[in-house]
Amino acid sequence: MSPAIYTLGQAGGLQIDVSDLGARWLSCRVPLADGGRREVVLGHASLADHLSEPGFFGAIVGRYANRIAGAAFPLDGRTHRLVANEGANQLHGGPDGFDRRRWRVVERGPLHLRLALHSPDGDQGYPGALDAEVTYRVDPARLALTLSFGARTSAPCPVSLTSHPYFNLDGGTAPVLGHRLRVAAARMLPVRPDMIPTGELWPVDGGPFDLREARRLGDGLGLGEQQRRGGGYDHCFVLDEAAARGERAAAELTSTDGRLAMRLFTDYPGLQVCSGNFVQNSCGRDGLPLPRHAGIALEPQFFPDAPNHPAWREQGCLLRPGRPLARWMRLEFDDRTRSPG
């Protein structure tokens, strides 16, 4: 049976497309005050392209989002060796991660879709059998979408599930360098040349990672050694306490023309910002190669490589039997040309 695509939302409101292949968020169409719509998520020409193109476009990634150094981690006196897929390291759960799997539809309605996936003991090197879930839910009253992540394990295991869409709020594929981004974070995680965090927490004060006030993405790209290592932004920000509790927006992104804004809320402690530094290796819905920086990914998550940092594991990434994962992210869109009320 071929992978399916499900449309959620109302005729006059926010509409999204989700597939059971990788539980992928394929499309997000935001209605505008003038009666038009903007497609704000980058995609490919077909579902098959999502398996052949690099970049994890729209996928739910796991078991562990982002990078794990040396594709290994210690736990309860034993070293667990994972399947590497980025040099010596593991990225987004390995070469056969959750983005490659066919998820099972558990429940669906006009505004929601709940998908589940079983990952057996030893999958990509991870210990314990894991049952993961993600629920997409479109708000019927406003331009908002919530993703809820859940997981249970039969043995201790680090887990970090997140969504990996690339956003372009201009509604096209031109570089997003004119987008303005604000991130509620006074600190960030610097990385080694292989993009693994050094273990330090750096203050962002005054540098290219100081996004506490909205700034153009293009203004910070290429500034400093950290930017050169990632080809732009590809770093995890340490969310301020209120943002990490979901009490204030973790990030706000505004389109180049200033018309469309998107606020992201979450209860994860970290936010990976990736400025589409390698999307030019993929093709868009028209089958043509995307330009570099055609989209930006904003990925709520536990810190990358946290399984190798005891203090970071205390944030909650280590699941044990009877201690499940329950995290969420919410996106709110705002057409700023709409009249209040």
Q: What is the 3-state secondary structure (H, E, C) of 92-161?
A: CCCCCCHHHCECEEEEECCCEEEEEEEECCCHHHCCCCEEEEEEEEECCCCCEEEEEEEEEECCCEECEC
Report the top-level CATH class of 5-335: mainly beta
pLDDT computed for residue 340 by the predictor: 52
Cβ(127)–Cβ(82) under 8 Å? no
* 164 is a catalytic site residue: yes
Q: Which of 44, 50, 92, 164 is catalytic?
A: 164
Tally of residues, the chain: 341
Q: Which of 133, 252, 299, 332 is catalytic?
A: 299
Q: Which residues pair with 68 in a beta bridge?
A: 90
Cβ(67)–Cβ(307) under 8 Å? no
- The domain locations on the chain are 5-335
- CA R_g for the chain: 19
- Give the single-character DSSP code of 155: S
Residue of 140, 169, 172 whose CA lies nearest to 12: 140
What is the distance between the alpha carbons of residues 325 and 323, in angstroms, rounded to a whole number?
A: 7
User: One digit per residue, pLDDT tens: the chain, 341 residues?
Assistant: 899 999 999 999 999 999 999 999 999 999 999 989 999 999 999 999 998 998 999 999 999 999 999 999 999 999 999 999 999 999 999 999 999 999 999 999 999 999 999 999 999 999 999 999 999 999 999 999 999 999 999 999 999 999 999 999 999 999 999 999 999 999 999 999 999 999 999 999 999 999 999 999 999 998 999 999 989 999 999 999 999 999 999 999 999 999 999 999 999 999 999 999 999 999 999 999 999 999 999 999 999 999 999 999 999 999 999 999 999 999 999 998 865 54
- The enclosing H or E element of 252 equals strand 251-254
Burial of 241 (0-12, 13-18, 19+ CB in 10 A): exposed
* 213 is a catalytic site residue: no
Residue of 26, 37, 294 whose CA lies nearest to 168: 294
What is the distance between the alpha carbons of residues 162 and 329, in angstroms, rounded to a whole number?
A: 9
